[in-house]
Amino acid sequence: MSELVSLADRETPEIVRLRRDFHQWPELSFREQRTAGVIAEYLRELGLDVVSPDSMHGMWADLQAEGATKTLALRADMDALAMDEASSATKSDFVSKNPGAAHCCGHDSHMAMLMTAARLMATGEVKPRHNIRFLFQHAEEKAPGGAIELIEAGCLEGVDEVYGIHVIPPIETGKFVVCKGPFMAAADEIHIRVTGKGGHAAMPHLVRDPIVAAAHVITALQGLVSRRTSPLDSMVVTISTIRGGSGTTNVIPNDVELLGTVRTLNPALHEKAPGWVSDTAKAAAAACGCEAEVEYGLGYPVLVNDDGATATARECVRELLGESGLVETPMPMMGGEDFARYAELRPSCYVFLGVGSDSKGITSANHATDFDVDEAVLHRGTAWFLQLAVH
């Protein structure tokens, strides 16, 4: 292992301290006021000038390197999920103190890793070869996301490349996933209201049953995956919420509401999906004598890792940990991420760091109520940021 790994490992207590502080005080998208204050104060104490655009909690700070010819933006997201956290043996001492908010996706770790890297560079312990922009982004979890706002505020001006990292428990702890090309899916939202004519449940022939129609809509939408999409492509259409009825067993309601998501790694499919979903839902409902109103919310685009930036990201892992630090067969995933906004405008690479540990009982996936990370390997994320800076 390299000297940077050892140096970052020395900082594990600081990484853990920061991570646990953020973890106890999670804040939802577009509401990250305390979080932003902690980060801004930390950066200013390092002597960095913080740019915090009006009306948002995201920010950036620049570190200039002597003789540098390009600027790298290193990004960490800040917001928590709108959910309650379950206490567990691995984190009973620092569970969320904010009801309805929890860092169950790992953004607390991302901030801690990047803040520690910023301190090591700003204090001169690590001297970067490139100018570095430390980019802390609000509102990753809620579309349209904070990346758009920061980009409009100028966060990419003068930036040549962008890099980011995400902790993922199912990956072997301490290993990196670095994958070129499409890496994370476009993530859209669908809201479908199926309207019929309610009545007595014992006389279905006198009504136009929206529940049966909604069932047909759900089934028909799966045909978009199995029959409209090539088996060589990827697409997910999931209805995750069904709302309808009053709770009374003998009343058929007037309408049913369906909420869901559409995901794909193929930009061409992403363009076709809105029309496919709308046409299919309306036709399936009409076949049952009902109507379907479809609201299709475009979310994040496909996150495409640039070939050159991906090669750099992979080389940095090798320089830190050798070939064993990389997952042998990296695969994309269907989660969405608004880091894709940066990747549309600058050569970029987004990587995963494995933080699960069977021996420590850290096995739950991101967004689980008992999500946790193996804090003993978070320093590797800090080391990767440092290696990018000196590469």
Give the residue numbers annotated as catalytic, written as ranges: 300, 375
SS (H, E, C) the chain: CCHHHHHHHHCHHHHHHHHHHHHHCCCCCCCCHHHHHHHHHHHHHCCCCEECCCCCCCEEEEECCCCCCCEEEEEEECCCECCCCCCCCCCCCCCCCCCCCECCCCHHHHHHHHHHHHHHHHCCCCCCCCEEEEEEECCCCCCCCHHHHHHHCCCCCCCCEEEEEEEEEEEECCCEECCCEEEECEEEEEEEEEECECEECCCHHHCECHHHHHHHHHHHHHHHHHCCCCCCCCEEEEEEEEEECCCCCCEECCEEEEEEEEEECCHHHHHHHHHHHHHHHHHHHHHCCCEEEEEEEEEECCEEECHHHHHHHHHHHHHHHCHHHECCCCCCECCCCCCHHHHHHCCEEEEEEEEEECCCCECCCCCCCCCCCCHHHHHHHHHHHHHHHHC
